[in-house]
Structure 1
Amino acid sequence: MKKAAFLILLAVAALLAGCEIVLTAPGILPGTPVTVGSDEGATETVDPGAAGRFELVVGDKPVRIDVYQEDATPDGDLMIRVLDKDNQPYAHTNNRNYFMDTEVEITGAAAQGVVVNAPYSINLPANFGKAYVMVNNMSSAAQTVTVKAFERNVVEREGFEISNPSNGATSVGYGGAILFLQQRDTYVYNGADGYTLTFTVPGDDYLHLQLQIEGTNTLLTPGQQAQLLNGDRLTVSARDGAYAGFCASVDPGCSDGIDTGEYSLTISQ
């Protein structure tokens, strides 16, 4: 009898070892499950002044959460909040262009033309674990919302080597995107002294991006220039690390065409 019980325990242990089990902490309300990678997502109708609650699990790849409305309304009619496995706030947004740390107060949504296919989005880093998504309906009418989540093949720049133009070219460009809170992209300039660096972003600077050149302790904001010296280390980040975009036009997963988070580095004579 004892041997049989032992064998049953071994079988159960083997079964659990092959499963990814994420427990919900006591006292935390569960949400409607969202399957990462599902085109259907999960849908709820949220009454005015109420909030829909969803949950998902982020594994070893970054995940982009997209919240769609059945009938598009202006920015600000929804407020999206992401909570971690302990139900602690991580990020929020009421705007289709960017998201921010919850320590940054939402003061109002920027006016923009609403595109029906454009979601409110938030990126979560790899190994985030259990995430809860709260969709608050700030409008005066019920809203039908769908939450989807997809893995992202995002490569952050860390010590990426850049150089001056060559082979007769007068300039050379590099680009990246700030897509996560606290993200810092770093570059090392391996080129001749005296070339000009121009730091730009497409469209509006929603993220308050900045570029620091550590060699000369120079700080640039979009549209500014500086002279480079061989060995300079460049760091691009959002102000205080508190803002992030969610899409880059070169990302095949961004079919909506919104390119917030992107920036460009141009080195010229």
Structure 2
Amino acid sequence: MRLVFIFFILLLAACGSPGIPTGSVIRVDGAEVITPALGENEAAFFNLEVGGAAVRLDAFALDNPKAAQLEVTVFDSNRLPYARSVSRSWFVAPGLALSPAQRNPKLIDPNLPFSLNLPANFGKAYVRVRNRLNEPTRVRVRAVVRAGYKGSSGLEIVGSTQGALLFLGQLDSYVYRGKKARLTLSYPGGSLRPLVEVVRGGSRVFRGEPGVSFDLEPGDQIFVREQSNGGLAGFCDQALGCTDGVNSGIYTLWIE
């Protein structure tokens, strides 16, 4: 194992990018890769190419998964940090400050991976998977094409609808074509902090958190985003056609 890390250091010197060496290749919907046992704070590195379809990157702890504490970080083609996951239910942009509840999320299912989503055409990704637990674990890593909801851009609606904030920086938008009604954003997930905004005649007339209502009029534009300017994102399951096993990204626009 130590020889592997020496090899990584030599690769660093070759590529001139401190801390992020070239690693094993992972192919989307290809074979899974299992790392050797990683000790506390030890990491394995991978390369991934994201083309025309969005991708979910998964890391499963194979030894003592219930207590697992993995950290999955993706760097872009310039080896700059893009996203980080330390939870089975959400992921975050680098450097974003999190609340204590988000730093210590409720355990969902030890069989679920530590995951994050990469948008279509992301291109070259450098991946680091680190073991933060003080006991060694092997890690199974895979990349799969994302199925289900991909976001809404200008969708015309006349009644209640569901969406999910699955990508960093995502902004869902809708145009309301129904009769005057009451709008309420519902979000039971707990991991994110979504906002709903209404624009009427070019001016924002409402900005509210889940549970706060507003009177809609025909032609109103509705926007949903995460409060930290899209710095947090989650996952969806079943209702929107996703198979993530987690519903942390799903919201509902109730129009009644």
The two structures have a TM-score, normalised by structure 2, of 0.84
1:27 to 16, 23, 44: 16
1:12 corresponds to:
none
Tell me the residue number matched to 2:155: 160
**AA aligned opposite 2:197:** Q
CA shift, 1:105, in A, is 3.5
Give 5+ residue unaligned stretches, structure 2. 1-13
Q: Aligned partners of 1:120 and 1:247: how far apart in 2?
A: 14
Contact 1:72 1:115 (C-alpha < 8 Å) held by counterparts: no
Aligned-pair CA distance for 1:225: 1.0
RMSD: 1.9
| Structure 2 partner of 1:229 | 217
1:266 is aligned to 2:254: yes
What's the secondary structure of 1:82's corresponding residue?
A: strand
Instruction: Report the counterpart of residue 199 of structure 1 in structure 2.
Output: 185
Give a deviation string over 1:187-237, Cα, whole Å, max 9, x none: 0011222x1111101332x11100001125201111121110111100000
Partner of 1:119: 113
Query: Larger Rg: 1 or 2?
Result: 1
- The partner residue of 1:91 within 83, 86, 89 is 83
**How many residues were matched structurally?**
231
Moved more, 212-221 or 55-64: 212-221
- 1:161 counterpart letter in structure 2: E
The share of aligned pairs that are identical, in percent, is 33
The AA in structure 1 aligned to 2:33 is: A
Is the deviation greater in 97-106 or in 61-70? 97-106
User: Normalized against structure 1, the TM-score is what?
Assistant: 0.80
Maintained 8 Å contact 1:74/1:113: no
Amino acid at match of 1:211: V
Q: For residue 180 of structure 1, what is the aligned residue in structure 2?
A: 167
Q: Paired residue for 1:20? A: none
The match for 1:212 among 162, 181, 197 is 197
SS, match of residue 214 in structure 1: strand
Say if 2:154 is the partner of 1:140.
Answer: no
In 2, the alpha carbon distance for the partners of 1:175 and 1:251 equals 8
Corresponding letter in the other structure for 1:207: L
CA distance in 2, matches of 1:106, 1:225: 27
- The equivalent residue for 1:72 is 65
Q: Determine which of 177, 182, 187 is the counterpart of 1:190.
A: 177
8 Å contact kept, 1:33–1:54 = yes
Give the superposition deviation at 1:103.
2.8
C-alpha distance in structure 1 between counterparts of 2:67 and 2:233, whole Å: 21
Q: Shift in Å at residue 118 of structure 1?
A: 0.8
Secondary structure of residue in 1 paired with 2:169: coil
Within the alignment, does 1:246 sit opposite 2:229 as a pair?
A: no
CA 1:251–1:226: 2 relative to 1, 3 Å: closer
Asked if 2 retains the 8 angstrom alpha-carbon contact of 1:74 and 1:112, the reply is no
